[in-house]
Structure 1
Amino acid sequence: MLRSTERILTSHAGSLPRSPELLEANEARRSGTSSPGAHGRLLQDAVVDVVRRQREAGVDVVNDGEYGHAMASPVDYGAWWHYIFDRISGLTPGEVGLWEQEPRRSAPGRVVLTSFGDRRDRQRFAEAYTDPDSGITTGKQKPFPTITGKLEYVGQEAVAADIRNLKAALDATGAQEGYLAALSPGSCARLQNEHYADEDEVLTACAEALREEYRAITDAGLIVQIDDPSIAENWDQINPEPTVEDYLAFTRKRVEALNYALAGIPAEQVRFHLCWGSWHGPHTTDLEFRHLVDLMLEIDAGAYSFEGANVRHEHEWRVWEDRALPEGKLIVPGIVSHATNVVEHPELVADRIERFARAVGRENVIASTDCGLGGRIHPQIAWAKLETLARGAELATRRLWG
């Protein structure tokens, strides 16, 4: 895993904008109207192009833009999660929409996830969330499947294609390091369950299925990024609000399931991504990072990616002032945000980088984005944000290396 030994390196959190041609090809493949091999050839070329654009923007640690995780439309907040539905058996297509699921209530010592529509932030700002002109949108949401049989990984061909495409793009562009994103057991376990006896069995089954994807990626010499909003985002999906102690006990099971899935994989080939959900809402019910950071550091990863730029969480860089980063670990903080169309000034980018670098050591920081940019902001703005990230990293490098 690359480190910022001579200058501040840059990366991003995963999803990048898809071209209209790729979106059309995704839809044609979904509907069965594409010609044999056409989607695969287009996807391979698109991955080379998106890696080249990352390098031209100044990104050091690149990925495939998550292009192997098909987006349904230009605005799509769920591709990071939905992709796994085609790679795991034991699922039955759902009929109930994401927002129409029945609410569930928690009690002290008994934490359960409620429906997405019953999230506490959505209840508090119900008028804004239901106003089509408010700017809060998450695009098309298809019904989620239900677990009705044994979960087994069947995505071998799909992940092999992701690996081939990214490695070909690395060779074509000369990029040194690449990663592929994969779902966490904790996020996988949020599906409705009608097969397993309890939550613990679901978590174990998800971990055993997903470890195949993790191992395929790392065995190929790439880095796997574990996408796990569930660690932080679940807090808002528990109604009424639990105690922090109950929530951490609930979340620790998800951390243990992830570590179980990662067993035997070198930590230096794993980066973990934590966020509070990437929709453009108020986020007033987000749990403070100080409650989560120690549990996050128990995850067997070499690098930890987290939101550090949006206005709800930027102040939380201070958690690193009184906390020692474990030996050999990296942080990959968000320095530019997906949550605003304003493109950050390079001087601000440099200031944010410096805060983290002075807290944990400049060699232990890779500057990144809060969350994926693809499907959340306009492509032109997304690429401008990556360019300003690189310019700010250059400024920070001059300041830190003097």
Structure 2
Amino acid sequence: MDSLITAAARALATGDPLGALKRVALREDAPSLALRGIAMAQLGDFARAKLLLRRAARGFGSREAVARARCIVAEAEIALVSRDLGWPVKALEAARATLDSHGDRINAAHARNIEVRRLLLLGRLDDAERMLADLDPTPFPPASRAAHELVVAGIAIRRLQTKRARAALQVAGQAARAARIPALMAEVESASRVLEMPAGRVIARGEEHLLRLDEVETLLASPTFVVDACRHVVHGADAVVSLATRPILFALMRHLGEAWPGDVPRSTLIADAFRIRHADETHRARLRVEVGRLRAILRPLADISATELGFALLPHAACEVVVLAPPVEDRHAAVLALLADGESWSSSALSMALGASPRTVQRALESLAADGKVQSFGRGPARRWMTPPVPDFPSILLLPGPLPID
């Protein structure tokens, strides 16, 4: 490897893409194309970067399997950053296996880290943790160690394990400073701010206040009866009941939780749950049926009693009932929560992450765009959606993934 290639690679390793381009910008050999592709990716020109990396992969000979595998890993990272979650994962797995078999442990670990980050975006935390368990980050260089700890922190934050997240972010910060890469240090700082921002809003006895993520963790670990409007579940002292697929029942549950220890008039429950203005006897009969269904589901945790005006919640053991809601509520909050990372997403990637149909996601994006909350650029398959970070908007409790108690 000649001196210019070596110097360009060192410049890229320290986060200096312009310095790398000065050395290889006019060259067309495969190593130079690969380094130019990585440099363009660091500068944000992902389309050009992918083309250069593909040309480099084709340019390497049959005996240069490791170099081709590194190009595939770099392209996979670009796909991840540009939120192309449909990029062929099997190609990355094959590249990782090639690197591992040829003794390139660091780049093989980097490939695994990319796979874990993709799983994290999709909310598949169990799979992500299983992949991380096979990695020993001790021999990693500072930049790779920082990236590894950021993933560890991301999983811990999703699981509401704030102490573990803080510890991982502290190690990531030390590694990023040792690597002297400004972009990496900024990424760690941005991830650390999540722990200090409001993550939820507690409503109890007619009052409400904001909670940080560690306070949400403490609340859910307490014996308090929590109606979680972020995940649409009900937390009791010994059990958790999900109403995520029962929107009418959860609407009733939230009203009962916010009114506790008082009751909720039947007219209020009918108007909100069934979305009608004028109720008749058929709606009151339907309300009785839905309350009966909710009573059966809640049997391990609470009862619902009929009162003269309506219905009231009666927890079995909890001495307090609260509703945990997002700091900012929006009809398409889950979409906004993913877009709040500031990256550009395709509608197909949002559909994969949320587990929703492409048409449902597209309607949500069009509605948000009409309200000026998101914007798009590009056309057709290249169209991307993004929004600047929304102040005090929850990006953790609304993200896809298992419940904190799972």
Max radius of gyration: which structure?
A: 2
The structure with more helix, counted as a fraction of residues: 2
TM-score, normalised with respect to structure 1? 0.25
